Protein backbone atom coordinates (compact mmCIF):
# COMPACT_ATOMS: atom_id res chain seq x y z
CA UNK A 1 0.00 0.00 0.00
CA UNK A 2 1.21 3.38 -0.88
CA UNK A 3 1.07 6.39 1.39
CA UNK A 4 -2.09 7.91 -0.15
CA UNK A 5 -3.83 4.53 0.20
CA UNK A 6 -2.82 4.25 3.88
CA UNK A 7 -4.01 7.75 4.50
CA UNK A 8 -7.41 7.05 2.87
CA UNK A 9 -7.66 3.76 4.79
CA UNK A 10 -6.95 5.56 8.09
CA UNK A 11 -9.53 8.24 7.42
CA UNK A 12 -12.12 5.64 6.47
CA UNK A 13 -11.37 3.62 9.61
CA UNK A 14 -11.69 6.67 11.83
CA UNK A 15 -14.98 7.60 10.13
CA UNK A 16 -16.35 4.07 10.62
CA UNK A 17 -15.26 4.09 14.26
CA UNK A 18 -16.99 7.39 14.84
CA UNK A 19 -20.21 6.08 13.30
CA UNK A 20 -20.01 2.92 15.39
CA UNK A 21 -19.44 4.92 18.56
CA UNK A 22 -22.49 7.11 17.92
CA UNK A 23 -24.79 4.21 17.03
CA UNK A 24 -26.84 2.10 19.47
CA UNK A 25 -25.13 -1.05 18.39
CA UNK A 26 -23.42 -2.79 21.25
CA UNK A 27 -23.34 0.34 23.40
CA UNK A 28 -22.05 -0.29 26.86
CA UNK A 29 -24.82 0.04 29.46
CA UNK A 30 -25.21 3.51 30.85
CA UNK A 31 -24.06 3.98 34.39
CA UNK A 32 -26.98 3.85 36.78
CA UNK A 33 -27.95 7.17 38.36
CA UNK A 34 -26.94 7.31 41.98
CA UNK A 35 -29.80 6.55 44.33
CA UNK A 36 -31.07 9.48 46.39
CA UNK A 37 -29.82 9.66 49.93
CA UNK A 38 -32.25 8.13 52.41
CA UNK A 39 -34.50 10.52 54.37
CA UNK A 40 -33.14 11.32 57.80
CA UNK A 41 -34.84 9.40 60.61
CA UNK A 42 -36.13 12.65 62.11
CA UNK A 43 -37.38 15.49 59.98
CA UNK A 44 -36.37 19.03 60.82
CA UNK A 45 -38.87 20.93 62.93
CA UNK A 46 -41.59 22.62 60.92
CA UNK A 47 -41.71 26.40 60.75
CA UNK A 48 -43.69 27.77 63.67
CA UNK A 49 -47.26 28.72 62.74
CA UNK A 50 -47.80 32.45 62.41
CA UNK A 51 -49.23 33.96 65.53
CA UNK A 52 -52.98 34.59 65.36
CA UNK A 53 -54.22 38.08 64.66
CA UNK A 54 -53.99 40.02 67.88
CA UNK A 55 -57.33 40.80 69.45
CA UNK A 56 -58.68 44.24 68.63
CA UNK A 57 -57.95 46.91 71.15
CA UNK A 58 -60.52 47.30 73.85
CA UNK A 59 -62.94 50.09 73.13
CA UNK A 60 -62.32 53.19 75.22
CA UNK A 61 -65.21 55.04 76.77
CA UNK A 62 -66.13 58.49 75.58
CA UNK A 63 -64.86 61.30 77.78
CA UNK A 64 -67.28 62.33 80.52
CA UNK A 65 -69.56 65.11 79.31
CA UNK A 66 -68.85 64.52 75.59
CA UNK A 67 -71.84 64.97 73.30
CA UNK A 68 -72.75 65.33 69.65
CA UNK A 69 -75.51 67.31 67.98
CA UNK A 70 -76.81 68.53 64.64
CA UNK A 71 -75.75 72.14 64.19
CA UNK A 72 -78.80 73.63 62.47
CA UNK A 73 -81.38 70.83 62.35
CA UNK A 74 -83.86 70.70 65.19
CA UNK A 75 -86.21 67.91 66.11
CA UNK A 76 -89.50 68.27 64.19
CA UNK A 77 -88.09 70.78 61.66
CA UNK A 78 -89.50 70.96 58.14
CA UNK A 79 -86.89 71.07 55.41
CA UNK A 80 -87.96 72.33 51.99
CA UNK A 81 -85.90 72.08 48.85
CA UNK A 82 -86.06 71.69 45.11
CA UNK A 83 -86.94 68.34 43.58
CA UNK A 84 -83.67 66.68 42.48
CA UNK A 85 -84.53 63.28 41.03
CA UNK A 86 -87.32 62.81 43.59
CA UNK A 87 -85.22 63.89 46.56
CA UNK A 88 -84.43 67.01 48.55
CA UNK A 89 -80.88 67.95 49.48
CA UNK A 90 -80.68 68.53 53.24
CA UNK A 91 -77.66 70.41 54.60
CA UNK A 92 -76.26 68.91 57.80
CA UNK A 93 -73.71 70.26 60.29
CA UNK A 94 -72.26 67.74 62.74
CA UNK A 95 -71.02 69.05 66.08
CA UNK A 96 -68.89 67.27 68.68
CA UNK A 97 -68.24 68.70 72.14
CA UNK A 98 -65.82 67.29 74.71
CA UNK A 99 -64.34 64.85 72.20
CA UNK A 100 -62.02 65.47 69.23
CA UNK A 101 -63.05 64.78 65.64
CA UNK A 102 -60.25 62.81 63.97
CA UNK A 103 -60.18 60.80 60.71
CA UNK A 104 -60.70 57.05 60.89
CA UNK A 105 -57.66 54.91 61.61
CA UNK A 106 -56.02 53.55 64.71
CA UNK A 107 -58.17 54.26 67.75
CA UNK A 108 -56.96 57.18 69.86
CA UNK A 109 -58.58 57.78 73.24
CA UNK A 110 -60.83 60.84 73.24
CA UNK A 111 -61.24 60.94 69.44
CA UNK A 112 -63.51 59.62 66.71
CA UNK A 113 -65.57 60.64 63.72
CA UNK A 114 -69.21 61.11 62.73
CA UNK A 115 -71.72 58.80 61.07
CA UNK A 116 -75.30 59.58 60.07
CA UNK A 117 -77.85 56.81 60.29
CA UNK A 118 -80.89 57.53 58.12
CA UNK A 119 -84.18 56.20 59.50
CA UNK A 120 -82.43 54.13 62.14
CA UNK A 121 -81.50 54.35 65.79
CA UNK A 122 -78.27 54.73 67.73
CA UNK A 123 -76.02 51.68 67.88
CA UNK A 124 -74.86 49.98 71.04
CA UNK A 125 -71.34 50.68 72.25
CA UNK A 126 -68.72 48.66 70.36
CA UNK A 127 -70.95 47.81 67.37
CA UNK A 128 -69.22 48.64 64.08
CA UNK A 129 -71.28 51.08 62.03
CA UNK A 130 -72.31 49.30 58.82
CA UNK A 131 -71.37 50.86 55.49
CA UNK A 132 -74.39 51.17 53.21
CA UNK A 133 -76.93 53.67 51.85
CA UNK A 134 -78.48 54.38 55.25
CA UNK A 135 -75.30 54.41 57.37
CA UNK A 136 -73.15 57.25 56.10
CA UNK A 137 -69.49 57.39 57.14
CA UNK A 138 -67.46 60.57 57.54
CA UNK A 139 -64.12 58.89 58.16
CA UNK A 140 -62.10 61.83 56.85
CA UNK A 141 -63.20 63.85 59.85
CA UNK A 142 -65.87 65.86 58.00
CA UNK A 143 -68.24 68.01 60.05
CA UNK A 144 -70.57 69.17 57.25
CA UNK A 145 -72.41 67.36 54.48
CA UNK A 146 -75.66 67.21 52.57
CA UNK A 147 -78.02 64.23 52.59
CA UNK A 148 -80.48 63.35 49.82
CA UNK A 149 -83.90 62.49 51.30
CA UNK A 150 -87.27 61.68 49.76
CA UNK A 151 -90.25 63.81 50.82
CA UNK A 152 -91.84 62.73 54.10
CA UNK A 153 -90.77 62.17 57.68
CA UNK A 154 -87.24 60.93 58.32
CA UNK A 155 -85.15 60.21 61.39
CA UNK A 156 -81.49 61.23 61.32
CA UNK A 157 -79.20 59.83 63.99
CA UNK A 158 -75.74 61.30 64.42
CA UNK A 159 -73.53 58.50 65.77
CA UNK A 160 -69.96 59.11 66.94
CA UNK A 161 -67.53 56.20 66.60
CA UNK A 162 -63.84 55.50 67.20
CA UNK A 163 -61.15 55.15 64.52
CA UNK A 164 -62.30 51.60 63.74
CA UNK A 165 -65.94 52.74 63.24
CA UNK A 166 -67.01 51.19 66.57
CA UNK A 167 -69.93 53.10 68.01
CA UNK A 168 -69.49 54.95 71.30
CA UNK A 169 -73.12 53.98 71.92
CA UNK A 170 -76.34 55.91 72.44
CA UNK A 171 -74.64 58.25 74.93
CA UNK A 172 -72.65 59.78 72.07
CA UNK A 173 -75.44 60.08 69.55
CA UNK A 174 -78.20 62.54 68.73
CA UNK A 175 -81.45 61.92 66.88
CA UNK A 176 -83.80 64.35 65.15
CA UNK A 177 -86.96 63.83 63.13
CA UNK A 178 -87.35 66.05 60.08
CA UNK A 179 -90.18 66.55 57.62
CA UNK A 180 -88.87 66.84 54.07
CA UNK A 181 -90.92 68.55 51.35
CA UNK A 182 -90.44 69.93 47.85
CA UNK A 183 -90.49 73.72 47.48
pLDDT in tens, 139-152: 999 999 999 999 99
Per-residue pLDDT, averaged over 33-56, amounts to: 49
Instruction: Please give the domain boundaries of the chain with CATH numbers for all domains.
Output: 67-182 (2.60.40.10)
- pLDDT given at position 24: 45
Per-residue pLDDT, averaged over 30-59, amounts to: 53
Bridge partners of residue 142, in order along the sequence = none
Stated pTM of the model: 0.70
- pLDDT given at position 6: 44
- pLDDT given at position 58: 86
- pLDDT given at position 20: 40
| pLDDT for 16 beyond 50 | no
pLDDT in tens, 52-67: 444 557 899 999 999 9
- pLDDT given at position 130: 98
Give the pLDDT band (50/70/90) at residue 7.
very low
Type and span of the H or E element at 6: helix 3-22
pLDDT in tens, 75-118: 999 999 999 999 999 999 999 999 999 999 999 999 999 999 99
- pLDDT given at position 38: 55
| pLDDT for 4 beyond 80 | no
Q: What are the start-end ranges of the E strands in the chain? A: 67-70, 77-81, 88-97, 100-101, 111-118, 135-137, 144-149, 152-161, 173-182
Cβ-count burial 48-72 (b if 16+ within 10 Å, e if not) = eeeeeeeeeeebeebeeebebebee
Cβ-count burial 144-169 (b if 16+ within 10 Å, e if not) = eeebebebeebebbbbbbbbbbbbbb
Q: What is the DSSP letter of 79?
A: E
Amino acid sequence: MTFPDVRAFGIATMFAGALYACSDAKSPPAAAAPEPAPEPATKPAAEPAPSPTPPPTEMASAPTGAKVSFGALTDGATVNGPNKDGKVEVAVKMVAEGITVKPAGAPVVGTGHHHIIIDGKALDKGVVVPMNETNLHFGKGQTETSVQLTPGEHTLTLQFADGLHRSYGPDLSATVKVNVAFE
